[in-house]
Chains A and B, each alone.
Chain A
Amino acid sequence: MTDEFKDLKDALRNEGPISPRKEARDLAIDKAMHAFDEKNTSAAKGIGIGNRLMGTAIAAYQILIGRRSMNMRLTPALAGGASLSALLLVILSTSYLQNNFEDAKTIPDGLASRQPTPSPQKEAVEERVFAELRPSENDHLTEESAIVFADPALPSASAGLPSTAAEPTMMAPSINPSPIIAFDAAPGAVGVGHSSAPAEAKRRFMIQSFDADQQAQGFYQDQGRDEFSTIKTNPIKLVSEEPVSTFSIDVDTASYSFIRASLNNNVLPQKDAVRVEELINYFPYDYARPDDTSVPFKAGISVYPAPWNDERKLIHIGIKGYELQGLEKPASNLVFLLDTSGSMDAPNKLPLVQNAMKLVLDSLKPDDTIAIVTYAGSAGTVLEATPVKDKAKILRALDNLHSGGSTAGAEGIRQAYQLAEQNFREKGVNRVILATDGDFNVGVSSDEELKSYIERKRQTGVYLSVLGFGTGNYNDALMQTLAQNGNGNAAYIDSLNEARKVLVEEAGSTLFTIARDVKIQVEFNPATVSEYRLIGYETRLLNREDFNNDKVDAGDIGSGHAVTAIYEITPTGSDAGLIDDLRYSTSDALASPSATSGEYGFLKMRYKLPDESTSKLVSTPITNDKEYSSVEEAPNEARFATAVAGFGQLLRDGRYTGSYALDDVIDLAKSAKGEDEFGYRAEFINLVRLSKSVAAIAPLDAEHSVSPTQP
């Protein structure tokens, strides 16, 4: 044999880890066994009911497990693509379980008792399969097994998951033995390296994967009809021409969850979906809290070089709201306005809304009231204001919700406000919470009309929060308009876990306002700063004169909220400036007194207390005594916010971030992960990694990859 043969042969034989991954192997063997069982039961019994159901379950299981169009596309760029795909598969099944666990907890007793817990269920399945294999067994066994199989598929028992999606739960336990192991092993493969992240992070990640995968599966889904208002990235401003920058704070987080859902679907979010400030404000930050309650929030300032350009600096303004404790929490009068139109008929919409609502119940006090208004073909009150302690009644109303018909959004909003006003609580929280995919397609409502209606209602003290659901047909533009004009906040819910974050963990900041109409104005010092640029907040800019005008609406801060704003500045004298000096006029006249030479600018904030209508002013100079000579020395929280800001800008177009790359974002975020109790930051890092591979795909191709029928 010639050398070249030997070489080839050696290469083929000794190429190292050719043995299959255990997960893939186990999965294949499991599936083979199921196929075997199916074949043999049908041979023994003919086509029985249980058998047919099992076949359906296997088919559904195959759809879920067998095809990996989404993950296939990740392979070229993710060094561990193959492992990742298996990771998602295994997790997928556990999160189905998890979901059903959670559902099981909240459904009425009668139903709960009928839903078997997973591991006994597995045994039951196996036992029955065996039983069926034994020729001497009676026929009635087939009937019984049919009940076991059918049970998880009962719509009410699985709290609204459509039956095809629910059926795989009976299969899930078969690959359950190593879900956590799979997860732990996987980060190594994709280079995540945080296997010690808290269990919460795992759970979160699982649920997310579940949702991402769920969205890739075969139910009807709109595509490419998400609507966003166009955002023009804030340009660089010359201090000598426009020394004052004014904006309203933005506590919304919808943008982050939306791009997360999008990236998890292997699609780059459209540029206008990325609002950098909402990305930053999604994360909890441990900024210094207000010392006392006289001023409801406190602003901390730090200055450090921009990671994407050493010559420029970032001014990081971190605002932390005062946190209401237990008894201080005002009584709540909540009216849920739920969209039950046909477009909500998807697992990540109405069923998620129902489950999210159940979470809310747990975070309220017994005497708080909840009312439910739905709007579909016609709007209607499903539940009059009911105290939370009457939980069974609320749950019953929730479980009876069905989707169908078109959307008469305007009428629904009217009814919801009416209910809220009927039960108005002085000194309490009066809030309409709108849950929708934003598809208001029927009724009197032009966006403008709806907006002015909500603006007027704001005066009555009823606030509005908007929870967005679903992708493909998501009308972000309208949701933002509604929330911004209704003294509210907008969040995008892509998973039960996100619902938990918004409605339970952050219930305080979502529901209890501590300061209204918070505006920020920064005046830069031309002696020290030549250019500046506000990162994000494009949709929240205000005119200079609006700052002192109390009639002009702005964002609200909730209890415990953290809000971050970042300016990028070019110090005077630096040659990093993008705007050239003028030839015919000099700026010498601007030379300023030496007394303020250590100041970059002056920060002013205006706010109103919740029950007052005139604003108060707080101000502080932005000095260089909180300045750090490198990003590395900057405080953790500021560094992480900077990483998120970098990511957001890269997702938009990276116009001002030079050669800053996703890998740099990852490094910076990793260095600033801190305690990360709930794993949000770890998730962010994963998301950045994910976006690396998504970005490698041409947008058109990416759109195809979400098609559920893709082989």
Chain B
Amino acid sequence: MTMTDIELAENARDGDRNAFRQLVERHYDSAYRVALRMTGSVPDAEDIAQDVCLALADKLSSFRGTSRFSTWLYRVVVNACRDHHRKRATSDRLHSNYAMVYEFSRADEADDSQRRGWLSDAIADLEPALRETAILVLSEDLNHKEAGEILGCAENTISWRMHEIRKKLKTLVDANHD
């Protein structure tokens, strides 16, 4: 029988090794996925996901069970990405990393390259706050409230950011169709 994240987290906090392992195994993939989208680089994402896992044992004590575990974990990941970002990435590098990730994952769809080009540009061109928002809302399918919780801002701010993103994408699409 499966235990919920919160039960696992509580057991792990009490020293249950297996509960902790289950928890990490369950959430590694999404931590990695978000990190990959945030950084655009596989090694960076692996580093971040690993750091998050490593810190989890310690951080777990700060998990109060007031929000969903996944929401809480997203917050940890996003913060790790921000730290990481501060440490090394320049927008230029990010840009090229994005191009590369897309190239790797979709190299066989050669005819798709043009569309891919503007999409990766679109993501990389977004300023960091908008990018985080876009990733959580569009790809992780979180609602504005959860995204707000993770990013530490109001639900309204998220809605406003989504509006901004839409505007920017539109400009890009128009430019692309010209």
Contacts and interface: CB of A to CB of B under 8 A. Distances in A.
Nearest to A38: B57
Given A8-B134, A9-B138, A12-B138, A32 B53 contact: yes
B129 interface: no
Interface residues of B, number: 50
Contacts of A43: 15
Interface stretch (B25-33, B66-74, B148-156): B25-33
Contacts of B96: 76
A72 B53 contact: no
B25 A37 contact: no
A293 interface: no
Interface stretch (A19-27, A113-121, A248-256): A19-27
Contacts of B135: 12
Interface residues of A, number: 48
Nearest to B21: A33
Given A12-B37, A24-B50, A18 B57 contact: no
Contacts of A13: 139
A11 B50 CA distance: 26
Interface in B123-143: 123, 134-135, 138-139
Interface in A4-18: 4-5, 7-9, 11-13, 15-18
Contacts of B122: 8
Interface string B33-74: 100110001110111011101111110000000000000000
B169 A8 contact: yes
A82 B43 contact: yes
A106 interface: no
Contacts of B88: 711
B24 interface: yes
A473 interface: no
B58 A39 contact: yes
Given A36-B12, A68-B43, A5 B166 contact: yes
A35 B46 contact: no
A443 interface: no
Kindly name the residue among B29, B33, B43 whose own CB sees the greatest number of chain A CB atoms within 10 A.
B43
A386 interface: no
Contacts of A37: 17
Contact of A133 (B15, B41, B49, B102): B15
Given A4-B172, A8-B138, A24-B46, A31 B105 contact: no
Interface string B98-126: 00101011100000000110010011000
A381 interface: no
Given A5-B169, A35-B58, A11 B119 contact: yes
A25 B32 CA distance: 9
A8 B43 contact: no
Contacts of A36: 12, 17, 20, 56-57
A576 interface: no
B139 A40 contact: no
A43 B60 CA distance: 14
A114 B166 CA distance: 66
B132 to A, nearest CB: 13
Taking chain B's interface residues, is the majority helix, strand, or loop, or is none over half, making it mixed? helix
Nearest to A83: B42
Interface in A35-80: 35-40, 43-44, 62, 66, 68, 71-72, 75-76, 79
A711 B87 contact: yes
A4 B54 contact: no
Nearest to A79: B104
Given A3-B173, A15-B105, A24 B49 contact: yes
A82 B42 contact: yes
A711 B44 CA distance: 12
A28 interface: yes
Contacts of B104: 79
Contacts of A142: none
Nearest to B118: A7
Contact of B116 (A3, A11, A66, A72): A11
Contacts of B17: 33, 36-37, 40, 130, 133
A31 B173 CA distance: 44
B20 A32 contact: yes
A368 B159 CA distance: 84
A452 B56 CA distance: 66
Interface string A350-379: 000000000000000000000000000000
A465 B15 CA distance: 60
A66 B44 CA distance: 11
Contacts of A85: 43
Given A25-B29, A29-B24, A35 B50 contact: no
Contact of B50 (A12, A28, A711): A28
Q: Which of A13, A36, A72, A81 has the most CB of B within 10 A?
A: A36
Contacts of A33: 17, 20-21, 24
A466 interface: no
A31 B54 contact: yes
B19 to A, nearest CB: 10
A9 B136 CA distance: 11
Contacts of A133: 15, 17
Contacts of A82: 41-43, 46
Given A8-B123, A11-B116, A24-B49, A29 B25 contact: yes
A20 to B, nearest CB: 4
B33 A18 contact: yes
Given A8-B119, A29-B25, A68-B47, A17 B15 contact: no
13 contacts: A4-B170, A8-B169, A12-B37, A15-B105, A24-B50, A25-B29, A29-B21, A29-B25, A33-B21, A36-B57, A43-B15, A44-B15, A66-B51
Interface of A: 2-5, 7-9, 11-13, 15-21, 24-25, 27-29, 31-33, 35-40, 43-44, 62, 66, 68, 71-72, 75-76, 79, 81-82, 85-86, 130, 133, 711
Interface of B: 12, 15, 17, 20-21, 24-25, 28-29, 32-33, 36-37, 41-43, 45-47, 49-51, 53-58, 87-88, 96, 100, 102, 104-106, 115-116, 119, 122-123, 134-135, 138-139, 166, 169-170, 172-173
